[in-house]
Amino acid sequence: MKKSIFIAAIILSCLSIKIADAQVHVSLGLNIGVQPDWGPVGYDHADYYYMPDIDTYYDVPAHRYVYLENNVWVHRTYLPARYSNYDRYRGYKVVVNERNPWERNTVYRTRYAEYRGRRDQVVIRDSRDDRYRNHWHDNGNHYGQNKDRGDRGRGHDDRGDKGRDHGDKGHGHGHGHDD
């Protein structure tokens, strides 16, 4: 009797360790909460967005843009003036889960050239998916009907606060797919 209780305790201990280990891996893989409102829907995890219209990357966890400036890839919290008319909410974004994708920029520029000018991608702000509910702004205008103050989604911060990109905050959970 004591032997069977001891064996059962060992088995339960092993199972609980495996379950806890699996929960840690799952929670570390999701980053919906750090994806900006203008990010594409359907991704539980995104390291970078590639924006073919302006040949630029967005580092999702760091909330920084990566673009060429004087033939050097720079990391900034804002887009340069030359992209002042770029609309992040309407421009197409490709999720790239690769370390330093700009090092293979020719590959991405070529692969996603056909997405330049596309305006049919649903963004998190406009999604009715419940996993993005914490991205919705509770001002009586749900599902992306909220008033976009300040930035207007044009890729620059015209509030004089270039150190912070207030439009890139949000929370949520869910399951999607990666590219």
Whether 3 is in a domain gets the answer no
Per the structure, the count of domains in the chain is 1
Whether 5 is in a domain gets the answer no
Q: pLDDT tens across 90-112, in order?
A: 999 999 999 999 999 999 999 99
Whether 83 is in a domain gets the answer yes
Q: pLDDT tens across 140-177, in order?
A: 333 333 333 333 333 333 333 333 333 333 333 333 33
Residues 20/8, Cβ–Cβ less than 8 Å? no
Going through the chain in order, the beta strands assigned E by DSSP cover 48-51, 56-59, 64-69, 72-76, 94-96
The pTM of the whole model exceeds 0.75: no
Whether 50 is in a domain gets the answer yes
Residue 59's domain spans which residues?
31-168
- What separation in angstroms does the CA of 23 have from each of 18, 28, 60, 99? 9, 9, 23, 24
Whether 17 is in a domain gets the answer no
More confident residue, 88 or 169: 88
- Mean pLDDT for the chain? 72
Residues in CB range of 49: below 8 A, 6 or more apart: 39, 40, 57, 58, 60, 93, 94, 95, 96
Cα–Cα distance, 108 to 101 (Å, whole number): 8
pLDDT grade, residue 58 (50/70/90)?
very high
